[in-house]
Structure 1
Amino acid sequence: MSERTVIIAGFVVLLAAALGALVFARLRRETVASLAETITYVIGIRTVRIVAVLGWAWLGWHFLVR
């Protein structure tokens, strides 16, 4: 298997896991929080907001400056 094939397979597995989690959250609304609820809760924590801003700044600096 080539490196490209392994990377594509990895992204397909991640996509399938994300879709599976989405379906599971929709079917079990009373026990599993949706993605929007989870993000709303997590972004309410100050440390997470700071890390998110620093992460976006790092990505922007490294990919958009060129």
Structure 2
Amino acid sequence: MWLWRLDPVKGYSVRGAYQLLTSHPSDSLDAAADLIWHKQVSLKVSIFAWRLLRERLPTKTNLAIRGIITPEA
């Protein structure tokens, strides 16, 4: 049986996973790689976590930095 230990009452949530991934310092990316690319983690979750940790998600801030949208958009 798998148990999400971060919140055993409510169980797994995307918000909980996001907070867990973003709460760690960026120098632990190599340590997180084993968890991100684990064979029992679905590919779409692995790719999302990889992009999240490397700040490659298409957020408004990231799109503005890359010049895709204007900062005022």
TM-score relative to the length of structure 2: 0.31
Asked which structure has the greater RCO (Cα within 8 Å, sep 6+), the reply is 2
The structure having more radius of gyration, on CA atoms, is 1
TM-score relative to the length of structure 1: 0.33
Q: Which structure's residues are more often helix, by fraction?
A: 1
